[in-house]
Chains A and B, each alone.
Chain A
Amino acid sequence: MTQEIYDVAIIGAGVVGTAIARELSRYQLSTVLLEANPDVGQGTTKANTAIWHTGYDAKNGTLEARLLRRSRALMEKFVPEAGVPVEMLGGVLVAWTEEQRDRLPALRERAFKNGVTDVRILSPEEVYEMEPNLQEGAWGGLYVPGESIICPFTLPLAFATQAVLNGVELKVNFPVRNVHLEEKEGTTVVESEDESVRCRYLINAAGLYSDEIDGMLGHHDFTVTPRRGELIVFDKFARSLINHVILPVPTPLTKGVLISPTVYGNVLLGPTAENLDDKTNTATSEAGLQTLLEKGRAILPALLEEEVTATYAGLRAATEHSDYQIRLHADQRYVCVGGIRSTGVSSCMGIAEYVRELLEQAGVTMVPKPTFKPVKMPYIGEAGQRPYRNPAMIAENPDYGRVICHCEKVTLGEILDAIHSPVPARTLDGIRRRTRVMQGRCQGFNCRATIVDILARETGQDPKFLLAQDDKARAGVNPHPQSSRGEGAK
């Protein structure tokens, strides 16, 4: 049996890998996107601060600074077109000591050099005018109007969906175990435990595992040290406490603990920064959560009066280098996209364009497709009109008026859409990230059983598998879902 040879294989369907897949899908290439997890955007992409950074504080002259700036321009067009939830709130960086205040002019200078020219130093009075609920004692601040909040779940899904709509093949549950070059044929074989794909060009966007993939090709340019960040999400009632992203003065190690609204209407506190050895350790810790509560109390005391909705931890792909590790190995027809630290959500489209240019350098001919299908994602933010408030959608399909998740006001129509979308939800977490179900203050007290029931029925999966009670239970997809309107009929 002859196996298809893809022009390009991309390892990793995080925000960077999916952005690259989308970029390549504009051209007449056959592309496969390989993901170890059952869904896209499940690594560093899903557990971060959900901030769309301007890159004002990036080190001048770095690739990171350049790609952040380029990405900004590309995303300003893509994000609204694709319906990715976003709020252009602006950031207020607060100096809590005299020493921090004295560093503000240097930060402003750095921002200017990075092309972020709308930043402005604030007096203490201005800080409290903009953020009246902050703890007393601020020495001043820096206003960064471009710092925005974004939905880190919808962004990679939008990229992946548009890529798939334009011919990219997405293979999930494909953990790469081995890569080897076939010199004579000019191809590369990428293998998981039970499957393999063959390609002419390989792109490594494996995030936390990008150094290991790099090693399979004989390179040892960098080592990824997972840097854990723990975060606490507060109840929506906290949302009225702040108007902007509240940033600390950054240090070389971390951007520091910030307090930010989310596009879902919550308030997020975090992250911590702690280097670990284990690339799977996304557990929260007693010390981490306590540290965050103390820092939160020191910045915004009223925040601590509100209920906590969620806690989580993510791992950033930090390396020993202070810049991105993006390299073309033309002789191996291989591009490594490593060390995307903590700015991937903001720089992804700039990275994707850069990777496309590197492939051109390596000899790939990019012939644009006659048509490039657009993508429009279901809107799950608070800034726009959600289906439960949309009379026209409900009139057309009553399932958009049937609220299943009461805390987040998610309707049956949206859940069914997520299950039957071009990049379909196949796990509980997948439905959660696409729709916000179970993500609210009751964390599934009311709706979890219903969601499991709908997902199992619509996809033909065994609930025991969905609930991770049995790895061998049926995970197959039901080719003939009984009904996509079943829930309301009882």
Chain B
Amino acid sequence: MTPETDVLIVGAGPAGLAAAIELKRQGVANVTVVEREPEVGGIPRFCAHTGFGLQDLHRLLSGPSYARYYAAQAKAVGVDLHTATTITGWEGERSLAYTSPDGIGTLTAKAILLATGVRERPRPARLIPGTRPHGVFTTGALQRFVYERHLPVGKKAVIVGAEAVSLSAVMTLREAGLEVVALLTEHPHHQLYFPYSLGKFWLLDLIRRTPILTSTRLRRIMGTRRVEAVEVLHTADGRTETIPCDTVVFTGDWIPENEIARSGGLIIDRHTLGPQVDGGHRTSRKGIFAAGNLLRGAESAATSALEGRAAAREIVRFLTDGRWPDVRLPIAVEAPIAWVYPNTLTAFDIASPRRTFDFRVQTFVEGATVQIRQGTKHLYSRTFRHLGPNETMHLDGRWLAQVALDGEPPVLSVEA
């Protein structure tokens, strides 16, 4: 591997590959992508169902086809791809150490893009008590069992979560021949919003046939060697229910894979747990960019890929003029807002009032007026008929011109 390159990208998922392709198209000579897995493509490799590519490639593909398309494109435009290569730490301002079957070494670049993706919070991180038998999965682990390794899973499954990725788990379990006995969500409604219109009818049918237990919490896992049942608490009336099953799948509750970002001293946003970035994907460290679901868990592959492309254009600009913002103003959020992204403002953003901002909420809110204040100054408000968890909403950036970059952090909240 050449120890010096123009741009080093960590992670060959949708964001990393789309960025690499765009960088080559924009004329960057040397683009190196390192991927810790034996193959490039990221999480879509294991999602052997449809629903990929509509927004970024303008066609509907299965996950593996989508991953293969990006991998082939990257190879075709001359991206330097290295699989089975694990980043093990920082060696300098823009240098990273790696381990691969060929040995260990250091990679130095003029700019680095972190696109390390996201993982689901596993059972221990959710503090679910009980025994620790076989048969407990995350969606990611499940899909690798079924689609990558063709391993047996079980017979009857309970799914924790009722959002988009939970549906992906339902489809995977059906494929593996399991019966889905229940989807559990702590919220009073499921959060199965439809990101793609094609296939909507069969998805609707699937949801109709799947028992969803709302306002519930998984209280305990039971079983000695293998899961035998779960105990579910109905939070509305305090009733508990024991549901026999041999498989439990924890879905969603994403957490960015922020190890490299954090160990490099990048400022981490308290709410997204990803590195803080401005609208141009610039982190708090000069020359280090971040894109994709590392920024916040988790959006669709297409969103990540489009972000990768956008980040690539900002990287090209940086390679050309070397400019980096010296003032960064974080954006704060107040409950029920879960997070906002981008979550810092720089002079680059103020100059680009066409920026948009994404946010999510923790609970269902009807008729919510979302507002932005800076100190006592009201900058913006917009009313939404309906806000719900696990659904990303958007704000435009018309308020940016009024922000004082040397002032207090602007606060995003819901008007009482």
Q: Please determine whether B129 and A285 come into contact, CB atoms closer than 8 angstroms.
A: yes
Residue interface mask B52-91, A partner, CB < 8 A = 1: 0000000000000000000000000000000010101000
Bound-state CA distance A398–B138 (Å) is 30
Instruction: List B residues 98-134 near A (Cβ within 8 Å).
Output: 99-104, 119-125, 127, 129-134
Q: Is residue A284 within 8 Å, beta carbon to beta carbon, of the partner chain?
A: yes
Instruction: List B residues 10-26 near A (Cβ within 8 Å).
Output: none
Known contacts A453-B151, A467-B134, A469-B226, A406 near B125 by CB under 8 Å:
no
Taking CB atoms, residues of chain A closer than 8 Å to B152 are: 463-464, 467, 469
Residue interface mask A321-352, B partner, CB < 8 A = 1: 00000000000000000000000000000000
Among A445, A453, A468, A490, the residue within 8 A (CB) of B120 is: A445
Q: Is residue A442 within 8 Å, beta carbon to beta carbon, of the partner chain?
A: yes
Q: In the complex, identify which listed stretch (B139-147, B163-171, B185-193, B376-384) lies at the interface while the others stay far away.
A: B139-147
Instruction: List A residues 300-316 near B (Cβ within 8 Å).
Output: 307-312
Known contacts A309-B125, A389-B104, A406-B36, A449 near B132 by CB under 8 Å:
no
Which chain A residue lies CB-closest to B36? A406
Q: Please determine whether B103 and A401 come into contact, CB atoms closer than 8 angstroms.
A: yes
Among B86, B102, B119, B131, the residue within 8 A (CB) of A283 is: B131
Known contacts A467-B134, A467-B135, A286 near B104 by CB under 8 Å:
no
Q: Is residue A372 within 8 Å, beta carbon to beta carbon, of the partner chain?
A: no
Which chain A residue lies CB-closest to B155? A469
Residue interface mask A386-414, B partner, CB < 8 A = 1: 00110100110011011100100100000
Q: A398-B101, A442-B140, A449-B149 are in contact. List 9 more A-B contacts (CB 8 A).
A: A232-B127, A307-B121, A399-B101, A443-B122, A444-B138, A446-B37, A452-B149, A468-B133, A469-B134
Q: Please determine whether A280 and B224 come into contact, CB atoms closer than 8 angstroms.
A: yes
Q: Please determine whether B129 and A391 come into contact, CB atoms closer than 8 angstroms.
A: no
Taking CB atoms, residues of chain A closer than 8 Å to B131 are: 282-283
Interfacial residues, chain B to chain A (CB-CB below 8 A): 36-38, 84, 86, 88, 99-104, 119-125, 127, 129-135, 138, 140-141, 144-145, 148-149, 151-152, 154, 219-220, 224-226, 246, 255, 262
Known contacts A283-B130, A469-B152, A394 near B124 by CB under 8 Å:
no
Shortest Cβ distance from residue B323 to the other chain A in the assembled complex, whole angstroms: 32
Q: Which of A232, A284, A285, A463 has the most CB of B within 10 A?
A: A284
Bound-state CA distance A409–B133 (Å) is 25
Which chain B residue lies CB-closest to A452? B151
Shortest Cβ distance from residue A271 to the other chain B in the assembled complex, whole angstroms: 15
Bound-state CA distance A307–B262 (Å) is 13
Q: Please determine whether B38 and A490 come into contact, CB atoms closer than 8 angstroms.
A: yes
Q: Please determine whether B104 and A391 come into contact, CB atoms closer than 8 angstroms.
A: yes
Among A233, A398, A448, the residue within 8 A (CB) of B144 is: A448
Among A285, A448, A469, A471, the residue within 8 A (CB) of B154 is: A469
Known contacts A308-B125, A469-B134, A389 near B149 by CB under 8 Å:
no
Q: Please determine whether B103 and A286 come into contact, CB atoms closer than 8 angstroms.
A: no
Q: Is residue A365 within 8 Å, beta carbon to beta carbon, of the partner chain?
A: no
Q: Please determine whether B119 and A309 come into contact, CB atoms closer than 8 angstroms.
A: no
Which chain A residue lies CB-closest to B149? A449
5 closest cross-chain pairs (CB), A and B: A398-B101, A443-B122, A449-B144, A468-B225, A468-B134
Shortest Cβ distance from residue B406 to the other chain A in the assembled complex, whole angstroms: 29
Taking CB atoms, residues of chain A closer than 8 Å to B124 are: 233, 308-311, 443
Known contacts A391-B103, A469-B246, A449 near B148 by CB under 8 Å:
yes
Q: Is residue A450 within 8 Å, beta carbon to beta carbon, of the partner chain?
A: yes
User: 29 A-B pairs, CB-CB below 8 angstroms?
Assistant: A232-B127, A283-B129, A284-B130, A284-B132, A285-B129, A309-B125, A311-B127, A312-B132, A389-B88, A398-B101, A398-B102, A399-B101, A401-B100, A401-B103, A401-B104, A402-B100, A406-B36, A406-B86, A443-B138, A444-B122, A446-B140, A446-B141, A449-B144, A450-B144, A463-B152, A468-B135, A468-B226, A471-B225, A488-B101
Q: How large is the interface on A (under 10, 10 to 19, 20 to 34, 35 or more residues)?
A: 35 or more
Q: Please determine whether B129 and A409 come into contact, CB atoms closer than 8 angstroms.
A: no
Q: Is residue A289 within 8 Å, beta carbon to beta carbon, of the partner chain?
A: yes
Residue interface mask A256-272, B partner, CB < 8 A = 1: 00000000000000000
Shortest Cβ distance from residue A351 to the other chain B in the assembled complex, whole angstroms: 29
Q: Please determine whether B134 and A389 come into contact, CB atoms closer than 8 angstroms.
A: no
Taking CB atoms, residues of chain B closer than 8 Å to A282 are: 131-132
Taking CB atoms, residues of chain B closer than 8 Å to A307 are: 121, 125, 255
Taking CB atoms, residues of chain B closer than 8 Å to A469 are: 134-135, 152, 154, 226, 246
Taking CB atoms, residues of chain B closer than 8 Å to A399 are: 101
Taking CB atoms, residues of chain A closer than 8 Å to B119 are: 441-442, 445-446
Shortest Cβ distance from residue A455 to the other chain B in the assembled complex, whole angstroms: 11
Which chain A residue lies CB-closest to B144? A449
Q: Please determine whether B101 and A401 come into contact, CB atoms closer than 8 angstroms.
A: yes
Q: Which of B38, B121, B124 has the most CB of A within 10 A?
A: B124
Q: Please determine whether B129 and A286 come into contact, CB atoms closer than 8 angstroms.
A: yes
Taking CB atoms, residues of chain B closer than 8 Å to A308 are: 124-125, 127
Q: Is residue A288 within 8 Å, beta carbon to beta carbon, of the partner chain?
A: yes
Taking CB atoms, residues of chain A closer than 8 Å to B133 are: 468
Which chain A residue lies CB-closest to B134? A468
Taking CB atoms, residues of chain A closer than 8 Å to B127 are: 232, 289, 308, 311
Q: Please determine whether B101 and A284 come into contact, CB atoms closer than 8 angstroms.
A: no
Taking CB atoms, residues of chain B closer than 8 Å to A448 are: 141, 144-145
Taking CB atoms, residues of chain A closer than 8 Å to B37 are: 446
Shortest Cβ distance from residue A450 to the other chain B in the assembled complex, whole angstroms: 7
Bound-state CA distance A388–B219 (Å) is 39
Taking CB atoms, residues of chain A closer than 8 Å to B141 are: 444-446, 448-449
Shortest Cβ distance from residue A36 to the other chain B in the assembled complex, whole angstroms: 14
Taking CB atoms, residues of chain A closer than 8 Å to B99 are: 388-389, 394, 401, 403, 409
Shortest Cβ distance from residue B285 to the other chain A in the assembled complex, whole angstroms: 18
Bound-state CA distance A391–B98 (Å) is 11
Which chain A residue lies CB-closest to B154? A469
Q: Please determine whether B149 and A453 come into contact, CB atoms closer than 8 angstroms.
A: yes
Shortest Cβ distance from residue A486 to the other chain B in the assembled complex, whole angstroms: 12
Taking CB atoms, residues of chain B closer than 8 Å to A312 are: 132
Bound-state CA distance A453–B144 (Å) is 11
Q: Which of A233, A284, A443, A450 has the most CB of B within 10 A?
A: A443
Shortest Cβ distance from residue B168 to the other chain A in the assembled complex, whole angstroms: 14
Shortest Cβ distance from residue B196 to the other chain A in the assembled complex, whole angstroms: 25
Among B135, B151, B219, the residue within 8 A (CB) of A449 is: B151
Taking CB atoms, residues of chain A closer than 8 Å to B120 are: 445
Which chain B residue lies CB-closest to A445? B140
Taking CB atoms, residues of chain B closer than 8 Å to A468 are: 133-135, 225-226
Bound-state CA distance A237–B273 (Å) is 13
Bound-state CA distance A446–B13 (Å) is 14
Bound-state CA distance A307–B257 (Å) is 12
Shortest Cβ distance from residue A470 to the other chain B in the assembled complex, whole angstroms: 9
Known contacts A394-B101, A442-B119, A467-B152, A449 near B145 by CB under 8 Å:
yes
Shortest Cβ distance from residue B296 to the other chain A in the assembled complex, whole angstroms: 16
Shortest Cβ distance from residue B242 to the other chain A in the assembled complex, whole angstroms: 15
Taking CB atoms, residues of chain A closer than 8 Å to B135 are: 467-469
Shortest Cβ distance from residue B276 to the other chain A in the assembled complex, whole angstroms: 16
Which chain B residue lies CB-closest to A470? B152
Residue interface mask A237-268, B partner, CB < 8 A = 1: 10000000000000000000000000000000
Shortest Cβ distance from residue A293 to the other chain B in the assembled complex, whole angstroms: 8
Shortest Cβ distance from residue A385 to the other chain B in the assembled complex, whole angstroms: 11
Q: Please determine whether A284 and B129 come into contact, CB atoms closer than 8 angstroms.
A: yes
Q: Please determine whether A388 and B86 come into contact, CB atoms closer than 8 angstroms.
A: yes
Which chain B residue lies CB-closest to A292? B127
Bound-state CA distance A403–B125 (Å) is 23
Bound-state CA distance A449–B138 (Å) is 12
Instruction: List A residues 442-490 near B (Cβ within 8 Å).
Output: 442-446, 448-450, 452-453, 463-464, 467-469, 471, 488, 490
Q: Please determine whether B101 and A288 come into contact, CB atoms closer than 8 angstroms.
A: no
Taking CB atoms, residues of chain A closer than 8 Å to B132 are: 282-284, 312
Taking CB atoms, residues of chain B closer than 8 Å to A284 are: 129-130, 132
